[in-house]
Amino acid sequence: MVMLIEHIDAIARKEQRDVLYVQFHQPTSDEDLKEENVDGLGFFDELDWEHLPRRQQIIGWLDAHGIGWRHCADFANENGIFPYLGQIYIDLPYDPTLPAYKELRAFLENPDGSMRFPDATFCYVPLEMAMKNAAHDEPGFWEEWAKNF
Answer yes or no: pTM beyond 0.85. no
Over residues 99-139, the pLDDT tens digits come to: 999 999 999 999 999 999 999 999 999 999 999 999 898 99
Tens digits of per-residue pLDDT, 5-22?
999 999 999 999 999 999
pLDDT of amino acid 82: 83
* Closest alpha carbon to 54 in 97, 107, 1: 107
pLDDT digits (tens, 9 = 90+) for 53-86: 999 999 999 999 999 999 999 999 888 888 889 9
